[in-house]
Amino acid sequence: MNLTMTKKYILGIDGGSQSSKVVIFDTDGRVVCEASQALEPLYTPEPGVVEHPHDDLYDSIVAAASRAMQAFQGDPADIIGVGLCSIRCCRALTRADGTLVEPVQSWMDERLSKPYEPTNDDVVHVTTTSGYLMGRLTGELTDTIANYIGPWPMDVGTWDWFSDQETFDKYNVSRSMLYRLQMPGDVGGFVNEQFAASTGIPQGLPVVHTANDKAAEALGAGLRDETTGLVSLGTYIAGMIVGKEFVAEPTSFFSNFASEPHRYIYECGGIRRGMWTVSWLRNLLGREITDGAAAAGMTGDDFLNAVASDVPAGSDGLLCVLDWLAPPTKPYKKGMFLGFDERHGYAHMYRSILEGIAFTMKQNMVNMEEERGITIDTLVVSGGGSYSDLCMQIFADVFGIPVVRNEVRNAAGLGAAICVAVACGVYPTFDDASSRMVHREDTFQPNVENIDLYTQLRAVSVDITAQTDAILQRTHRILHDRKGAIAHV
């Protein structure tokens, strides 16, 4: 067969907060095969310290990539490149050769809320997860500009380090400690011998920079203008639209880098430990769920969705506040269920979690729409929660607009593949690549009978914390004072 007629493939790596996923796509954006590897539980040796143990981010990618390559039925020589995206707002401390000095600091680690503080003389470089992983995959100490969100001397408006030295110095890192910056869509290096031997991915393949996982997800979800919104249902739940200009001081959203040069993601307030709350409930219920699922011949998630579908909209008055992980500035915050009575069981709890997520994200997206002066007419929902028809319908009813589910549900890997397709010349532009590689699967239309009910309940839901914060602050103060008293005994 003529080489130009040979089918080509792209490998997308999505390093997430709970697992690493590796997907092999064809150049039309269809999944050929995939594999994932769950991350180890986060290491929390003391309050405020949250780390990825050992070399887990890299090791999990090796494990997932190895299984994906074993499942791949094509010719590895027809893979044209690797796209790399990883979690954001983390910090990796490395030696001169790019290997870790200490475990990677999670985005939930309180050290990420402030500039770097040197505590180990072996640290030569300070970088993000994407920089660290690019170094391990290729040996090149390069990083994508588009993953520098948080405590970094990065000017989001210029896509470069702060030029003002006084501002730069506030972040407590020297330029020599930072990796060399490149744009999303640039080749950061080539698969090295070690990574090739460990995974079966051909040595010498270009590894292409993307951005952080949320921005890559927006690209893979098909966001091209401000009329389409995205809610990413992950460990951190984010709401996004795309734009072309940097907004310096917005009040209801953040201007973050997109996964293509000089475009931006406008991201509204999100939910920390969002879909993790579903896992928490499932694990809390334990045998009650596993036994029920086994009896019904279903998975645990499918069983929960089935029983919750029989619960009426509004969960018979049970409301959920998704504050299972308090922000560092408000440590008193707590997750809550309000409104229990004798009717309520775990099916109500599960549905109220989904409704609480939708209420919160709708309100946050409305705030962003009003500030931007735009109206979203279509919502894409991606991530693990998008597999649930119940969750999709709740979002359609709460948002009151069509809600779309794409063929590729975990879109960050596809966003990484789109970057490779542009970098390797498969498509001339990101617009061309997106139009060819992103495919809609189905659309959920809002149920008009539920729209008004959910609008009224959302108004109640978003007002809960204004009433409960003072109570939680009192409780927090009592327990904090008691802990301090015990420590001094």
| Residue with token string 């040197």 | 118
Check residue 164 and report its DSSP letter.
S
Residue 16 has a pLDDT of 86
The yes-or-no verdict on residue 165 having pLDDT over 80 is yes
Burial code (b: 16+ CB inside 10 Å, e: under 16) for 257-282 equals bbbbeebbbbbbbbbbbbbbbbeebb
Share of the chain above pLDDT 70, in %: 98
pLDDT class of 17 with cuts at 50, 70, 90:
confident
The yes-or-no verdict on residue 150 having pLDDT over 90 is no
Spatial CB neighbours of 312, under 8 Å, sequence gap ≥ 6: none
The yes-or-no verdict on residue 1 having pLDDT over 50 is no
**N residues, the chain:** 489
CA distance 325 to 47: 13
Check residue 154 and report its DSSP letter.
E
Residue 81: Cβ within 10 Å count: 24
The yes-or-no verdict on residue 3 having pLDDT over 60 is no
| Residue with token string 């405020």 | 48
CA nearest to 230, candidates 19, 351, 385: 385
Comparing 43-57, 59-73, 131-145, which segment has the lowest mean pLDDT? 43-57
CA distance 9 to 192: 19
Residue 485 has a pLDDT of 58
Q: Which two tokens stand for residue 12?
A: 């997308």
For 96-121, write each residue's pLDDT tens digit.
Answer: 999 999 999 998 899 998 999 999 99
Residue type, 319: L
Q: State the burial class of residue 377 (Cβ atoms within 10 Å of its Cβ: 0-12, 13-18, 19+).
A: exposed
Residue 243: Cβ within 10 Å count: 18
Check residue 237 and report its DSSP letter.
B
Residue 47 has a pLDDT of 85
First to last CA, the chain: 80
Helices 129-138 and 56-71 meet at what angle, rounded to 10?
60
pLDDT (mean) for 230-256: 93
The alpha carbon dihedral of 171, 176, 182, 187 has a sign of negative
Element (H, E) at 132: helix 129-138
Share of the chain above pLDDT 90, in %: 89
pLDDT (mean) for 351-374: 97
pLDDT (mean) for 238-244: 94
Look at phi and psi of residue 262 and say left if phi exceeds 0, alpha if psi is from -120 to 50, else beta: left
pLDDT (mean) for 168-196: 97
pLDDT class of 476 with cuts at 50, 70, 90:
very high
- pTM beyond 0.85: yes
CA nearest to 417, candidates 6, 27, 3: 27
CA distance 401 to 378: 6
CA distance 232 to 385: 9
Residue 18 has a pLDDT of 84
- CA torsion angle 369 370 371 373 (round to 10): 80
pLDDT class of 248 with cuts at 50, 70, 90:
confident
Kindly write down the DSSP assignment for every residue of 404-444, as one continuous string.
Answer: EEES-SSHHHHHHHHHHHHHTTSSSSHHHHHHHH--EEEEE
Q: Which two tokens stand for residue 250?
A: 């917005």
Residue 483 has a pLDDT of 66
For 387-403, write each residue's pLDDT tens digit.
Answer: 999 999 999 999 999 99
Strand partners, 35: 22
Residue 2 has a pLDDT of 38
pLDDT (mean) for 330-345: 95
Q: Which two tokens stand for residue 121?
A: 């003389």
Spatial CB neighbours of 354, under 8 Å, sequence gap ≥ 6: 278, 308, 385, 388, 390, 391, 394
Largest separation between any pair of C-alpha atoms in the chain: 80
The yes-or-no verdict on residue 56 having pLDDT over 80 is yes
Q: State the burial class of residue 316 (Cβ atoms within 10 Å of its Cβ: 0-12, 13-18, 19+).
A: middle
The yes-or-no verdict on residue 5 having pLDDT over 70 is no
Residue type, 315: S
Q: Are 443 and 452 in contact (CB under 8 A)?
A: no
pLDDT (mean) for 463-470: 95
Distance of CA 281 to the CA centre of its chain: 20
Decide: helix, strand or coil at residue 323. Answer: coil
Element (H, E) at 278: helix 276-285
Spatial CB neighbours of 25, under 8 Å, sequence gap ≥ 6: 9, 10, 11, 12, 31, 32, 413, 414, 417, 437
Residue type, 48: G
CA nearest to 240, candidates 216, 260, 274: 216
CA distances from 91 to 113, 128, 133 (A): 11, 5, 12
Residue 409 has a pLDDT of 87
Comparing 43-47, 447-451, 467-471, which segment has the lowest mean pLDDT? 43-47
